[in-house]
Chains A and B, each alone.
Chain A
Amino acid sequence: GNSVTQMEGPVTLSEEAFLTINCTYTATGYPSLFWYVQYPGEGLQLLLKATKADDKGSNKGFEATYRKETTSFHLEKGSVQVSDSAVYFCALSEGYNQGGKLIFGQGTELSVKP
């Protein structure tokens, strides 16, 4: 079945460092890909999305490119802030016509130190 694999955390960075969180997926068909962020004690917030190959999703300085050839959707940010500390989830959607069910990775905890 479809699945998502993320790099394990926790990831600890200093403020203004470059961030990469790796995400690879296994899917049949043409899924949409998402990054969600979860702050302590809260639900999930959509960070960015890409609905087809070579699309680049971006938001709040974060970027990810849908790479079909490597089945990857790595999250990057050029300069992290303390406020970016959270758990990040990569997810795929099996497609609107398949019900749009989301399959999540296990999450990567990011801690940014001043």
Chain B
Amino acid sequence: DAGVTQSPTHLIKTRGQQVTLRCSPKSGHDTVSWYQQALGQGPQFIFQYYEEEERQRGNFPDRFSGHQFPNYSSELNVNALLLGDSALYLCASRKGYEAFFGQGTRLTVV
């Protein structure tokens, strides 16, 4: 059983560009959340998707948007990248109380 898979693993973008990160949840999981983890910090909640709708959102600007597809996979889009968006982006899928995390996408904005 594959766990949560994220792509790409690493990405370098230029300030002002747009980026799309992808996540496939663990089999049987229907809820996907995205987190941003800055270096040396704990993950911060961005938003959560269930039944293809954004259900809950953290304190992130509208430059951060997402989508969930009928197969429960999800995308995170970030527009107008800033240097401060450099971080590890983690996807988590959940069914019940327990969340399973992917390996993350390391985004570097230069």
Contacts and interface: CB of A to CB of B under 8 A. Distances in A.
Interface of A: 4, 32, 36, 42-46, 49, 51, 89, 91, 93, 96, 98-107
A46 B42 contact: no
B90 A43 contact: yes
B99 A102 contact: yes
Given A89-B42, A96-B96, A99-B56, A43 B48 contact: no
B103 A43 contact: yes
Given A43-B90, A96-B96, A103 B45 contact: yes
Interface residues of A: mostly helix, strand, loop or mixed? strand
Contacts of B97: 32, 49, 51, 93, 96, 100
27 contacts: A43-B90, A43-B104, A44-B43, A44-B90, A44-B101, A45-B101, A46-B98, A46-B99, A46-B100, A51-B97, A93-B97, A93-B99, A98-B56, A99-B48, A100-B31, A100-B33, A100-B48, A100-B94, A100-B97, A101-B56, A102-B35, A102-B92, A104-B42, A104-B43, A106-B42, A107-B40, A107-B41
B33 A101 contact: yes
Give the contact-size bracket for chain B.
Answer: 20 to 34
Interface of B: 4, 31, 33, 35, 40-45, 48, 55-56, 58, 90, 92, 94, 96-104
A55 B33 CA distance: 26
Contacts of B92: 44, 102
Contacts of A106: 40-42
A32 to B, nearest CB: 5
A42 B96 contact: no
Contacts of B104: 42-43
Contacts of B44: 104
Contacts of A36: 101
